Every structure is written in C-alpha cells, then in structure tokens.
Structure 1
Amino acid sequence: MKKNQQKENKKPTHDFVFQKKNYTVMFIGLAVIALGFILMSGGGSDDPNVFNPEIFSFRRIRLAPTLILIGFAIEAYAILLNPDKEKKNTK
C-alpha cells in the first residue's frame, strides 16, 4: 500500500529536450550561418547596365557557402549532442 501512495504523490517533472550546452552550440552555429550570409551579400552594381565582376570574388563563391555549410553541420551536432552522456558514464 505504501508503494502505491508514493507513486501517486510524485509530481510529473517537466524536462527540457535540450540543455544549456545544446543551446550554446546552436547559437554558435547560427552565428556562423549569419556570418556566411553577411559575407555573401553585396557586390551589386548601382547601374544595371554596368557589370560588376566583384560578384564572382572568392569571398562570395567559396568562403561564404562553406561557412554556411559548416554552420549547418554545427547545428546538426548541437541537436545530436547529449550532455547527460558524460554524467551517466561517471556514475
């Protein structure tokens, strides 16, 4: 009888899916993605009849898309990261 009363008295706990470490890594990934989009912007021409070859620079063609892909990889890592794994192995 005592065991049944203890189960009834327990209040449900609301645990979050992600913890502080996950959100920190997610924020870093979002910052890298934002940096990639910022580096990709610009390079247009004020006059539509004049071609500006700056649009094909290394920064816009190689660096910015690479940063965006790295940011998405960081986001995937942040989602799959399990900070409790370290705590469970020590117990």
Structure 2
Amino acid sequence: MAQNQTRPAAPIKTTSATRSQAKEGNSTPIQFIFDKSNYRWFIISIAIVAFGFILMSGTTDIYSTTKIVLAPIVVLAGFALGFFAILKKPSAN
C-alpha cells in the first residue's frame, strides 16, 4: 500500500520570526522574587550560623556552657533569620 504524504496547511514559523515578535511586544522589566535586602539578610544569617559552629568547635572542654547552650542558640537564631530572609516580601517601591 502506498502512503500519502500530507503537506502543512500554513508555513511553519521559524525561531527568527518569534524572536522579532518577542522583542517588539514585550518591553516589561524583569522582576526578581527576592530583593536586595533579602540577600543581605540571608548573607547575615549564613555568617551567624557559621559563627555558631565556630563557637561549637571551641575549646577541648566537652561540657563547656558555650558548646552546650550558647552555640546551639546562636545556630538556631541564624536559621530563624534565614527563614525570615526567605519569607520577607520585597518592598513595593
């Protein structure tokens, strides 16, 4: 049996035609999810978590108050600040 070949009804658009249409009709600026302040808070939170781990490594005394109490609180505060940095809405300027 012979197979019938069909031709497309309309010409196929190439990528160069779609690029020119995208440049002409779309001139809105790109809006990012996070603002500059979000990144600043996130970097501060990473520094606080790192400082907490440095406190945790501390001295050779295993049962030091700094290692057992203070360092985990600092690390948890850093993580909380990181969650705040992620969930903070950018300012509507």
State how far apart, in whole Å, the 2-side matches of 1:19 and 1:75 are: 14
Larger helix percent: 1
1:71 to 64, 78, 88: 78
Shift of 1:13: 3.4
- Of residues 30, 33, 44, the one that matches 1:17 is 33
| Inter-partner Cα distance in structure 2 for 1:66 and 1:15 | 36
Amino acid at match of 2:35: Q
Structure 2 stretches of 5 or more lacking a match? 1-23
RMSD: 2.1
TM-score w.r.t. structure 1 length?
0.68
Runs (4 or more) in structure 1 with deviation over 6 Å come to none
Please identify the structure whose Cα radius of gyration is greater. 2
Matches within 5 A, 1:1-91: 9-11=25-27, 13-44=29-60, 54-84=61-91, 87=92
Q: Give the CA deviation at 1:14.
A: 2.4
Identity %: 43
**Gap runs ≥5 in structure 1:** 1-7, 45-53
- Normalising by structure 2, we get a TM-score of 0.66
